[in-house]
A and B are shown apart, each in its own frame.
Chain A
Amino acid sequence: MRNYKIDELDQQIITLLSEDARLSNRKIAAELGFTEGTIRSRVKRLEDENYIRFTAVTNMEHMKTPLLAQIGIHAEQDMIKQVAEEVAKFSQINAVIILLGRFDIFAIGLFEGLAEVQQVASNQILDLKGVRLVETSLVVDVAKYDNRVAKIVHPLSEYSLEFAAK
């Protein structure tokens, strides 16, 4: 899928940008002892190869009653992929992972309060065709959250198209 395997310089650039994505190429170049041009082409390649994405993250403390919930779903074996794709459509759901083990599908969502968790998990998801069982777990506290890593699912081109359309 990828033509390029990242090296140590790429990882150093990523580490700096994961703290502050708005650092200028000039500052990164000075910090790491390379030219601005080298840094610019590295950053571009990392983006083009879907290794990295720059985004604004807002603090969930600024929601009224933020509640993270994890929803484990058991689905009919021949419908796992379809169910996962349906679950991914809910705006409250941030992550949908197909699992081997505890559940067939593991979904993580951010909700405005318990009523919304109940509405989405126990009503809407359970009602989807192919869903056999839903088990919800509420997040009480987050002891660690490494937002440097994620799965970059959409290729860059889709992002730019979507943006151009707005």
Chain B
Amino acid sequence: MSDQNFEFSDLDRSIITILKKDGRTSNQKIADMLNVTTSMVATRIRRMEQAKAMKVVAVSDFSAFDYNVLLPIGVDVKGRRANDVAADLAKLEEVAVVQLVSGRHDIEILVTLPSMDDMSGFLLEKLSKIKGIRNLDPSFAVDIIKYDFDVAPI
């Protein structure tokens, strides 16, 4: 749980702007750019991280883990709470994102697979073993135009 009382200062926002561009910019360089001391930068970053207001991460391309097939799938649930089905889906390694939604479906998932050859194993051995799934509405990602999640659940 994040510290809800935490508020970003102007200095925090300036630091975040720099870190969004390059998360590995050194404290020394950030300090020089913002005209503050290195220890102030280090303290603010630590403070933001501790409050779970911000974290600096390496984001890797899907291909770095050899995920070449991306499938956004809508899931309909019956006879079981959607939360419980979502929790089971979240345990599967191939499922990168699980969101409970209100709309046409109950749950939206993003499945990542190395290749089409992995599809049958995933569908028949894993997905179909989860109780409470009534229907799947699958699709293939053909092209990714934008993928930019710099604000996210932490």
Contacts and interface: CB of A to CB of B under 8 A. Distances in A.
A119 B102 CA distance: 18
A36 B16 CA distance: 27
A55 B22 CA distance: 6
Contacts of B108: 70, 137, 139
Interface in B71-123: 72, 74, 83, 86-87, 89-90, 95-105, 107-108, 112
Contacts of B55: 20, 56-57
A61 B104 CA distance: 26
A135 B90 contact: no
B57 interface: yes
B54 interface: yes
A138 B154 CA distance: 19
A151 B72 CA distance: 14
B153 A55 contact: no
A56 B149 contact: no
A122 interface: no
Which of A52, A56, A96, A148 lies at the interface centre, i.e. has the most chain B CB atoms within 10 A of its CB?
A: A56
Interface string A65-88: 010101000000000010011011
A95 B146 contact: yes
A58 interface: yes
Which of B53, B62, B83, B153 lies at the interface centre, i.e. has the most chain A CB atoms within 10 A of its CB?
A: B153
A6 interface: yes
A85 to B, nearest CB: 6
24 contacts: A50-B61, A52-B64, A55-B56, A57-B54, A57-B149, A57-B151, A60-B152, A94-B147, A96-B146, A96-B147, A97-B142, A97-B145, A98-B143, A98-B145, A106-B72, A138-B103, A140-B100, A141-B86, A143-B100, A144-B96, A144-B97, A147-B57, A149-B112, A151-B144
